[in-house]
Amino acid sequence: MNTRVKRFVLPLGGAVIATGMIAATLTTSATAATTAAAPASDGLATSKAQALKTVKAWTAGNGKRLKAAAKFTDDAAVQGKIKLGGGDAAPDGKTGIVPPIGGEKITPTRVKNVNLPRTIGKVFFRLDGKDYWCSASSIQGKYRNLVATAGHCVYDVDGNRDTLDEWVFIPGYYQGKAPWGIYVGKSAYTHYDFANYEDFDSDYAFVTVYNGVTAASWNSPKWVDAGRLGDNVGGQGFSWNQKIGQLVYAFGYPAGPHPDGDKPYTGLTPKYCYGKTVAAGAASAFKAEAQIAIKCSMTAGASGGPWIAQYSSTKRLGYVNGVTSLVGDSDGNQRYDFATSPYFDSETYSIYSLASNLWSGSITK
């Protein structure tokens, strides 16, 4: 049982990746134990006019800012040799799941290749006059308008401000193209400990987004409502209080170099890691004592990408049970070989539950 003192819950957000053990069966509980929370929302684009202005800013000049944006590092790497195991991650109540949406008519079949989720994409934002991106995923919510990512991909940790500016999610983004539209963030939710104390044990965020918008051309666009995020790409399920040791896929857009300078990824296309989660070692620089980890060689840019348990490569859906938070080098050979994620417990569920029941609407109607 995790004995760390937990405080209140506040909107903003974060996520992590893990390395595991044996597969665990996800089960639904009639009532999941949740810790009392005092949630509040941090607005991103709080009006339709502001949201449309954000879209226009990113797509001006045929999307030149999107194309020029850099992967977001935010110092989210553990320095030095780190021993995995011994952390405080543990369930704090009954297990629970929320089913995914989007694959109801697909019959699962055995496939040799791993088909990438349609739900994953990049979040773009502005910080100190510069444009950046992280990884993220659509996740199921009542109004099919929810994104899961890392807290440090939503909240300005270094500047100690509230949220990052001009925040948008583009599923399936590739070199200036938005195949399913651009979704502007409306409000963000995270744990109080992350928002106020930069505690990476809670480095996750759930963001409500407006309906997507599309245009035949970004040079002189007439913006058209593209509909809800979950209706267009589906939404991953959500699970909490799961056993450490389950098998997960961690997806993301790695782009940064390893500590030795080698740069194996471009950030243009999604990559994945697969393995059993384990308890992560403590990372005092990030106040992290209860994260989970998986063996993974992804680098900067993968932050915020989903960790998906019971992933069906046919349906391209499963249950988000973490988001990539930190990367690190466990053997000191100057190569990243593991990634971490916050452990999703009952408090995580309470924050997810709040965000998943909020409506966003259209910015063009």
CA angle 300, 196, 184 (to 5 degrees): 55
Domains (range + CATH), the chain: 9-102+116-355 (2.40.10.10)
29 pLDDT above the threshold of 60: no
The set of residues, in sequence order, having a beta carbon less than 8 Å from that of 263 and lying 6+ positions away, is: 256, 257, 299
Q: How many residues does the chain have?
A: 365
Give the tens place of pLDDT for each residue, 338-350: 999 999 999 999 9
Q: How far apart, in whole angstroms, are the C-alpha atoms of residue 338 and residue 280?
A: 9
pTM of the predicted model as reported, rounded to 2 decimal places: 0.89
**Residue 133 CB-density burial (10 A; 0-12 exposed, 13-18 middle, 19+ buried):** buried
- What are 53's two structure tokens? 């202005």
Q: Mean pLDDT check: name the lowest of 1-15, 74-88, 270-284.
A: 1-15
Phi, psi of 204 (to 5 degrees): -140, 155
- Other C-beta atoms lying within 10 Å of the C-beta of residue 110: 6
Give the tens place of pLDDT for each residue, 115-151: 999 999 999 999 999 999 999 999 999 999 999 999 9
- Amino acid symbol at 142: K
What confidence category does residue 86 fall into, taking pLDDT thresholds of 50, 70 and 90? low
